[in-house]
């Protein structure tokens, strides 16, 4: 059921119910991707790490399972597995060398070191907080565009 807080949500839901399931799913995926791309842009702007790997790792995926269509905003990967440490921070902890190995920092070799922890520098959550309205607007615009392509005229919502 459509969210009644979204202007035109009921109308879009009614139009979608008239369409074949495959077309409806494709339109919903396009709408979710458009909205998630707004969050993606905001998250990339918020990344505090300057090397670029973390920024480049932020991506949007969509899919459907069991009749539910979804979009996911993901970060990380092979070049940026540290995204969680940046987003949520870390507690103080020991870093120990593997057996028959040593840690080296600035020419000094040691078996273990006390890490003081890292302060959280969230970039995903603030993106969701700041880009929510833009995401809803982008999703609605994409929905109108795709429904128009299907021959269904959906007027743009009136500005309030």
Q: Tokens standing for 70?
A: 């979804």
pTM of the model: 0.77
Q: Tokens standing for 77?
A: 């990967």
Cα dist from 117 to 55, 91, 94, 110, whole Å? 22, 5, 9, 19
User: In which residue ranges of the chain is pLDDT below 70?
Assistant: 1-9, 12, 15-16, 19, 157-160
In this structure, the chain runs to a length of 160
Q: 119, 121, 120, 134: which is closest to 42 by C-alpha? A: 134
Environment class of 97 (CB within 10 Å of its CB; exposed 0-12, middle 13-18, buried 19+): middle
How far apart, in whole angstroms, are the C-alpha atoms of residue 154 and residue 31? 14
Environment class of 28 (CB within 10 Å of its CB; exposed 0-12, middle 13-18, buried 19+): buried
Please list, in sequence order, all residues whose beta carbon lies within 8 angstroms of the beta carbon of residue 116, skipping any fewer than 6 positions away: 92
Number of C-alpha atoms within 13 angstroms, CB side, residue 85? 11
Give the pLDDT confidence score for residue 158 in this predicted structure. Answer: 65
Per residue in 34-71, pLDDT (tens digit) is 999 999 999 999 999 777 899 999 999 999 898 889 99
Determine the longest span between alpha carbons in the chain, in angstroms: 70
Is residue 24 within 8 Å of residue 59, measured between CB atoms?
no
């Amino acid at each position: 059921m459509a969210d009644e807080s979204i202007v035109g949500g009921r109308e879009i839901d009614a139009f979608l119910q008239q369409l074949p399931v495959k077309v409806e799913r494709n339109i919903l995926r396009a709408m979710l991707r458009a909205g998630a791309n707004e969050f993606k842009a905001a998250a990339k702007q918020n990344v505090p790490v300057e090397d670029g790997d973390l920024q480049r790792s932020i991506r949007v995926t969509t899919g459907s399972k069991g009749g539910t269509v979804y979009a996911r905003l993901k970060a990380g990967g092979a070049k940026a597995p540290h995204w969680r440490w940046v987003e949520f921070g870390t507690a103080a902890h020991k870093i120990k060398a593997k057996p028959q190995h040593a840690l080296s920092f600035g020419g000094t070799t040691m078996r273990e070191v006390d890490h003081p922890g890292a302060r959280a520098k969230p970039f995903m959550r603030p993106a969701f907080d700041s880009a929510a309205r833009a995401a809803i607007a982008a999703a609605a615009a994409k929905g109108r565009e795709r429904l128009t392509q299907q021959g269904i005229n959906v007027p743009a919502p009136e500005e309030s």
